[in-house]
Amino acid sequence: MKFAIATTLVASVSAAKCTGSTDPVVSAPQCYHAKAGALGLTETVDVTINDLTSGTGHFDIAGSGVEGFSCSSKEFTKAGQTISTDLSDCVPSTVSLSEIDYCSDQDAIKVKVKVSGVPFAITTAATRVDCAADRKSGSDIMWEEFTEKHAKNGDDSERKSIFMQNIDRILETNRKQDDYWFGVTEFADMTPEEFQASMLSGLKPSAERISLGVQQASEASDLPASIDWTTQGAVTPVKNQGSCGSCWAFSTVGSLEGRAQLAKGNLQQFSEQQFVDCDTDFGDLGCKGGLMDNAFKYAQQADICTEESYAYKGKGGSCATSGCAVGLKTGEVTGFVDVATNSEEALMEAVATGPVSVAVCAETLFQLYFGGVMSGLCGASLDHGVLVVGYGTDEKSGKDYWKVKNSWGGNWGEDGYVRMLRGKKGKGQCGILSGPPSYPVIAGSSVVV
């Protein structure tokens, strides 16, 4: 199974071809500069060759960004392309420079650097630059690249300070474990409190639940070892809710889309905006939050419009279903099923029959999640609605996971998905088992409760 994280890593580790082994002619200091990174993190490497005679010379080498270090007048030897030196007294233990090669045809220095907090080594080419020219630090480059992609959430200097605090948080998390990775997401210039207020205000629990029943774990159940509905035509592309607290609507629609496809053989995209605008009689509050079970009740008594005919706006408005293209007619949603709480087996059985809406506690780990099997501590105070679309086992770590579709766009996490640890007892990873999970029943499908 491949995810965005894999392609991100591969794209970041390769440098240009290195050819030629002739020694450079050094009559004055020669400067070389490189930047490299992944997960949105950047490390710069600056090399200055001060002298070189008969395969022996001296250079300065410095790094900034993820890790800062500075080595001055270090003796080195050169044999072919390979530069050998001892930097143990000036490079911290969190940095490893395992290869330094001079590429005479490109007049470049190839450096392989491994920095603690980035889960792989990066090979980059330092190209010749003017020694007198100003060069930006790794920290400045990270901030500039972030702001080029994402609108800032306030004053520039304040945002940069928060951003750098989150960089520290990313590195601290990544250095503690290697099951999952934090990285620079579009939320990296927000404090945790700002992130919660902006992105996690969309789930409103309700005491009243009128479902068709509760799906319990079956002792005789013969479950597949893994399942992924994204590969079986039952999951639409990842969408983006924006700053509207409509996660509940996206989770609801994802369940409806998947279950309708499995019942009718036709995958359609349904309208989240319809639920935001029109679902007002069952306790849901548009961009101020809602609950998937409430939305399933609305779907039982309404025609459900297609996404194309009732497009998402990211804000509430007047109900405008008149004239929309109907994807599900009134009565095709016959009810919904709650899944037994705190039961991994029951949720696996439910997911084996189709996508399932769940609620999670996203305040701790979701802001900067970039990839891997999320297994850190995150609490169980439910604040975000998402969609379980499968489960499996990570080939590298051997950890079992739930595959979960989020609604923050395809650039977040693993192509818009998160893999969450499966096998945690009680309420499950980030409360995923406690919602309770639920899914709609479409006319013509079979339900086991």
CATH number at residue 294: 3.90.70.10
pLDDT, tens digit (0-9, with 9 covering 90-100), for 253-270: 999 999 999 999 999 999
- Rounded CA-CA distance 169/41 in Å is 12
| 152-to-160, 167, 296, 367 alpha-carbon distances in Å | 9, 16, 36, 16
Amino acid (1-letter code) at residue 40: G
Host domain of residue 317 = 198-442
Co-location of 114 and 206 in the same domain? no
Structure tokens at 8: 């991100």
Asked whether residue 333 is domain-assigned, the answer is yes
Last residue of a domain, one of 140, 166, 182: 140
Q: Is the CA virtual torsion 127, 133, 138, 142 positive or negative?
A: negative
Mean pLDDT across the chain: 90
Based on the domain organization, do 203 and 79 belong to the same domain?
A: no
209 and 136 in a common domain: no
Same domain? For 205 and 92 the reply is no
Q: How many domains does the chain have?
A: 2
Task: Flag whether 163 is in a domain.
Answer: no
Q: Residue 13's pLDDT band (boundaries 50, 70, 90)?
A: very low
Q: How far apart are CA 416 and CA 149, in angstroms?
A: 17
Tokens of 76: 């080195």
| The predicted structure's pLDDT at residue 445 | 65
Residue where a domain terminates, one of 90, 110, 140: 140
CA distances, 445 to each of 79, 250, 263, 392, 419 (Å): 71, 22, 5, 24, 28
pLDDT of residue 12: 39
Q: Are 285 and 373 contained in the same domain? A: yes
Quote the pTM value: 0.89
Catalytic residue set: 247, 384, 406
**50 to each of 2, 57, 59, 86, 293, how far by Cα in Å?**
45, 7, 5, 16, 69
- Give the residue, 139 or 219, on which the prediction is more confident: 139
Minimum mean pLDDT range among 112-121, 288-297, 317-326: 112-121
- 146 found inside a domain: no
Q: Are residues 227 and 358 in the same domain?
A: yes
DSSP class of 303: P
Kindly tell me if the per-residue pLDDT of 210 is higher than 70.
no
**What Rg value do the Cα atoms of the chain yield, rounded?**
26
Both 358 and 424 in one domain: the answer is yes
The answer to whether residues 132 and 243 belong to one domain is no
Do both 430 and 293 map to the same domain?
A: yes
- 122 in any annotated domain: yes
Residues 297 and 400 in one domain: yes
Q: What is the pLDDT of residues 47-103, one digit of tens each?
A: 999 999 999 999 999 999 888 999 999 999 999 999 999 999 999 998 888 899 999
The answer as to whether 336 is a domain residue is yes
Which of 140, 156, 180 terminates a domain? The answer is: 140
pLDDT confidence band for 151 (50 / 70 / 90): confident
